Amino acid sequence: MNPNDPIDPTAPPTTAETALVDAAITGRRSIRAFQPTPVPRAAVEDILRVASRAPSGTNLQPWQVHVLTGAALARLSDRILAIYADPAELARHEREYDYYPKEWTSPYLERRRKVGWDLYGLLGIAKSDRAGMHAQHGRNYRFFDAPVGLIFTMDRILQVGSWLDYGMFLQNIMVAARARGLDTCPQAAFTQFHRVIAEELGLGPEQMVICGMALGYADPSAPENALVTERAPVSEFARFYDE
C-alpha cells in the first residue's frame, strides 16, 4: 500500500493495523539522549505531512514549524547555553506563558516529583546535587544531542482553541516519528528563551514560541532512556454514564 494513497474511512482496520497504531502510541517516550545518526530531510517532511492531518477548528491549522539541523541547530544551542551558564543573564529571561500551575496540589505534585527523582536516579544525580540537576536540565538546549531540533510557533492572535489543536498536531508528530523508528522529546524548556529564538530564527513579533522538540534515533546505551513513566489506570480518570 502506498502511504500517499487515499484511505477508505469506511473500511474496518485489520487486527495488524490496529496493533501497529497502538504500538506507535504506547511506544512513544520522551527520549533524553540521541545518537548522532542524521535524519533525512525527506523523512522529516514526511512526518510533518502526516502530522498536518491533525484536526483544527474551522481548519485554521495554527502550527508553524522551524526545523534546525547542523550549524543552525548548534548556533541556537550555543546562544541559549551561554545565557543558561550566567545566572544574572538567565534571570533576564522569563517564560512567555505559564506551562505549569502556580500552586501545586495532589496528585500533580506527587507525579511531578516522582518522574523527576526517577530520572535523576537513573543518572546517579542525588537530591542534594543541584549542580547536577542544573546541568541535566541544560541538556534540553542541545536538544539532547538529537540531529534535528524543532521549534514550534503560533500566531498571537489565535486563542485557547488553537492551543488544543496544536497539542494534537504535536502528538501526531511524535506518533508518526515512532512509526518510522524515530524518537522525540517535546520540550517546553525552550519557552524561557523566546526572545533569543525569535532573533535567531528571524521571527516576526506576531509569532509566539510554543515549545521545542528533539527528533532522532534514541541512544539505547543511555541510562536515562530506560525511564518509562507511569500512567494512571482508566478507572482512575474516566467515568462512564449509561443512564
Task: Answer yes or no: is 74 within a domain.
Answer: yes
Task: Summarize pLDDT for 78-106 with one digit per residue, the tens.
Answer: 999 999 999 999 999 999 999 999 999 99
What's the CATH number where 58 sits?
3.40.109.10
Task: Answer yes or no: is 186 within a domain.
Answer: yes
First and final C-alpha spacing in the chain: 43
Task: Answer yes or no: is 117 within a domain.
Answer: no
Q: Are 38 and 146 in contact (CB under 8 A)?
A: no
Rg (CA), the chain: 19
pTM of the model: 0.94
Task: Answer yes or no: is 243 within a domain.
Answer: no
Strand ranges inside 3-85, DSSP E? 64-68
Closest CA to 182 of 22, 35, 52: 35
- 104, HSE (Cβ side, Cα atoms, 13 Å): 9
Note the residue count of the chain: 243
Task: Summarize pLDDT for 160-180 with one digit per residue, the tens.
Answer: 999 999 999 999 999 999 999
Task: Answer yes or no: is 82 within a domain.
Answer: yes
Classified as helix, coil or strand, 233 is coil
Q: What is the DSSP letter of 116?
A: H
Task: Summarize pLDDT for 62-82 with one digit per residue, the tens.
Answer: 999 999 999 999 999 999 999
Inform me whether the pLDDT recorded for 3 exceeds 90: no
Q: Are 222 and 32 in contact (CB under 8 A)?
A: yes
Q: How many structural domains is the chain composed of?
A: 1
In whole angstroms, what is the distance from residue 68 CA to residue 148 CA?
6
Closest CA to 143 of 211, 46, 65: 211
Task: Summarize pLDDT for 195-233 with one digit per residue, the tens.
Answer: 999 999 999 999 999 999 999 999 999 999 999 999 999
Structural domain for 48, as ranges: 30-90+142-224
Task: Answer yes or no: is 240 within a domain.
Answer: no
In whole angstroms, what is the distance from residue 210 CA to residue 194 CA?
9
Inform me whether the pLDDT recorded for 145 exceeds 80: yes
> What was the pLDDT predicted at 11?
85
Task: Answer yes or no: is 79 within a domain.
Answer: yes
Task: Answer yes or no: is 180 within a domain.
Answer: yes
